[in-house]
Amino acid sequence: MKLEEAIKQKRFESPQIKAMLNIMYTANWLMGEFRDIYKPYGITPQQYNVLRILRGKHPESVNPSEIKEVMLDKNPDITRLCDRLLAMGLIGRSIDAENRRKMNIVITHQGLQLLSQIQPLLEERQRLILSREGLDFDLLSDLLDELRG
C-alpha cells in the first residue's frame, strides 16, 4: 500500500518529508507485525530485545548500561524492564562483586526456552515480510545507514 493511501494524504511539503513519514510509518507497521508474536507470551518488543541481547552474551552477564547501549529502542527504562523480566523468571540479577553499585544481568534457562519458542514464529513472519520479489534489501539497508550517518 502506498503511503498516500495509508495515511490519506495526497500532497507532502517535500520529497524529504514524504520519505521521513514513510520511514516512520513503515517502522511502526513492522513493530506491529512483530508485537502480535510477543503478546501471547506476555512480553513486549523491548523485553524481547533485552532477552535477545542477553542470549547473545550467554553465559556471561551484562550490566544494564551495556544492554541499553545496544538496544534498538533507546528510550525504555532499563531498570523497570529488567524488574519485570526478573519477576517473570526470565533473567537473573546480582550485584557485582567488584563494584557494589553495578548490577549483573543474565538470561535464565526459562528465558532461553521462551526465546526458542518465539524464534520459529519470528522467522516465519520475517520470511513473509522479506520475501518480496524485486526488492534490493542491501540497497535499502545502505540507504537507511546513509540516512542515519
Report how far residue 91's alpha carbon sits from residue 109's, in angstroms, rounded to the nearest whole number. Answer: 8
pLDDT tens digits along 1-16: 888 999 999 899 999 9
Q: Predicted confidence band at 130 (pLDDT cuts at 50, 70, 90)?
A: confident
**Res 86 pLDDT > 80:** yes
Q: Residue 81: in which H helix or E strand, if any?
A: helix 78-87
pTM (two decimals): 0.84
Q: Which CATH number fits domain 12-148: 1.10.760.10, 3.40.50.460, 1.10.10.10, 3.30.70.141?
A: 1.10.10.10
Report how far residue 142's alpha carbon sits from residue 59's, in angstroms, rounded to the nearest whole number. Answer: 33
Name the residue ranges covered by the structural domains of the chain: 12-148
pLDDT tens digits along 31-63: 998 999 999 999 999 999 999 999 999 999 999
* Phi-psi region at 8: left, alpha or beta (left = phi > 0; alpha = psi -120 to 50): left
